[in-house]
Amino acid sequence: MASPISPNLGATTVPMPLVNMLRQSVYGKAFLALSATAFVATCAHISVPLPYTPVPLVMSDFAVLLVGMVLGPTGGFLALALYLAEGAAGMPVFSPQGPGGMLQLVGPTGGYLFSYPIAAAIAGLTGVMARKRRPAFTAGVLCGSVAVASILACGAAWMDHKGYMNSATTWSVAVTPFLFGSLAKIVAAAVIFSSTRRWLCS
């Protein structure tokens, strides 16, 4: 009589994706969130000031996209909310081109920063779309584009509302200089997510 477990002996074991494995414990979730904020902070320090706008060219928006894609809508939103809390507490997580802390949150770039949790949640829909048999790269480009649009729109609306510049120049100073770079970041994040999705996350 065959053993009831014998049919499984030759089966291929599919390892649990890394992110899903870490989500199984409180410590794993904390590790993911802190790692995400450290990644965004590191990218925020890759910063180049531009002479015609108070907004520097940074890589933090790329990090926001990738964190959202990997952690999903809820995980991405919470990780970026934690990032803002760290910055508000005075930790050096924001771009060094600004004053840091709460002053940076209420300054010219505050709109971009406050949009990060929402943008990460939008980018997090990439995984949801990919699980519905949409190509992961295509899903990443679509969700990443909407996420970046929300970042730029919030940044421009903040500047206009706070009166840092008049409405006529807001678009040319807060949006136009970053369009080409944003497109490159969207594609890069989508490529990285689609190529690592099988072992990194579901």
CATH of domain 17-200: 1.10.1760.20
For 9, counting Cβ atoms within 10 Å of its Cβ (0-12 exposed, 13-18 middle, 19+ buried), the class is exposed
pLDDT of 1 strictly over 80? no
167 burial level (CB within 10 Å; 0-12, 13-18, 19+): exposed
Residue type at position 190: A
Q: What is the dihedral of CA 128, 81, 159, 146, to 10 degrees?
A: 0
Looking at residue 10, its amino acid is G
Q: In which element (H, E) is residue 57 found? A: strand 57-58
How is residue 53 written in tokens? Answer: 């706008």
pLDDT digits (tens, 9 = 90+) for 121-152: 999 999 888 888 889 999 999 999 999 999 99
**Contact present, 123 and 68 (Cβ < 8 Å):** yes
Cα separation, 162 vs 71, whole angstroms: 33
Give the span between the Cα atoms of 32 and 71, in whole angstroms.
8
22 vs 78: CA distance, rounded Å: 16
- Amino acid in the structure at residue 19: V
Distance CA 196, CA 178 (A): 27
pLDDT surpasses 80 at 47: yes
Mean pLDDT score of the chain: 88
Residue given tokens 């995400």 in the structure block: 36
| Model pTM score | 0.88
Say which amino acid occupies 81. A
pLDDT value for 57 = 94
Hey, what are 66's tokens?
Answer: 């990738």
All structural domains of the chain with their residue ranges: 17-200
- Residue spans of alpha helices (H) in 10-59: 18-22, 26-44
- State yes or no: pLDDT of 176 exceeds 80: yes
Q: Given a cut of 80, is residue 68 above it in pLDDT?
A: yes
| Distance in Å from the first CA to the final CA of the chain | 38
